[in-house]
Structure 1
Amino acid sequence: MPKSTGIKNFNIAVFISGTGSNFINLIEHSLKKDSKYKIKLVISNNLNAKGLKYAKKYKIKKKIINYKDIINSEKNILNELDKNNIQIVCLAGFMKILTANFIKKFKGKIINIHPSLLPKYKGLNTHQRVLDNNENYSGCTVHYVNSKLDAGKIILQKKVKIFKNDTSEKLSKRILKHEHLLYPIALKKVISSL
């Protein structure tokens, strides 16, 4: 594979379930002149995911996967990834857990963004849990995906100060801004390591 020629060398798939703010953020970064990747595919388990409108706007192929049968669902996803020559998968608010078998097939090439300073506060409702525990800091983490929830090797983290009047919503909004800064940098780091 050619290194750093200014050509978009890497084909990326983004998996989403909701609003897709990290998805649109990665799209915008992919359109920059010095970008080394192109988003070729978006996969969602949610037919009504708001983020799918960006796929339409930017003419990115989209695939809705019905997750009723996880084995078949993942088989379908792997077929799509193969058909579109996808080299890296970015999870961006994807609310399904990938099986160990799926992860093995894409080992070291699936990354996720999580709204806490991992290994603290894995899973859901992170902001409220952070506030309930009177933490001074929270943040966000981009990490490799392994078979344990939010437990893969950390690529990059950003620490965010918690203020006295913070609510879960306020903290979430502030951390999301940092997610948008961190994810493209982490993706670049992953690409340069491949």
Structure 2
Amino acid sequence: MTQRPFHRPVPLADLDSVGASDDPVSRSETSHATAALLLGDADGNRDEAATRRFIDLADDIGFELIAEMWSAAPAVSAPGALWRLYALRQWIRTAPRELSEMFSDGQRRIDRGIGYEEILAGVELPAGPDEVARAIDEILAGAFRGDVVIALLRAAAFVGICAEGTDDADTGTRLRRLSQDLTDAAVAHRRGGLD
């Protein structure tokens, strides 16, 4: 008889203490628990009531405070992956033209065998500032609906294409690192979930 592999339950988040503690351990635990509310486990199981409460809290205190808490998490973790998606979304909102130019230039430069096109299905081409912003909003919405692996891979592909489209070596290096972090997070989630 085959047994289903054990999955840890989604951790409970102390939503009342979000942003209230200066204790690094408490902040880390809350960071992971709040991220788990949005991402759920590897099967997409979530506590929907707690997730709704979290969204209400984010509306009340501002998502920026919660995202700041996630920023200290390792790249291959639930809060770390959400931080990277959030930061990418903010970058697109503040510099849409710059990113759309990088994306367009990257598309012209990449080897067509990389396979980014399949991952980015649904991104409007050519990608102008508005199209790029909509694409990232869809990626984030995908993560929050439980389609985490696809959302992370789409974000990684988008960033990878932008990395190929920049002439600045430092920016290219940072974007390649971000793309790899998002890919690694997707692989980790597929293999059993992000901690």
TM-score band, normalised by shorter chain: 0.3 to 0.5
- The structure whose RCO (Cα within 8 Å, separation 6+) is larger is 2
Between Structure 1 and Structure 2, which shows a larger proportion of strand residues? Answer: 1
Normalising by structure 1, report the TM-score.
Answer: 0.35
Normalising by structure 2, report the TM-score.
Answer: 0.35
Q: Which has the larger radius of gyration?
A: 2
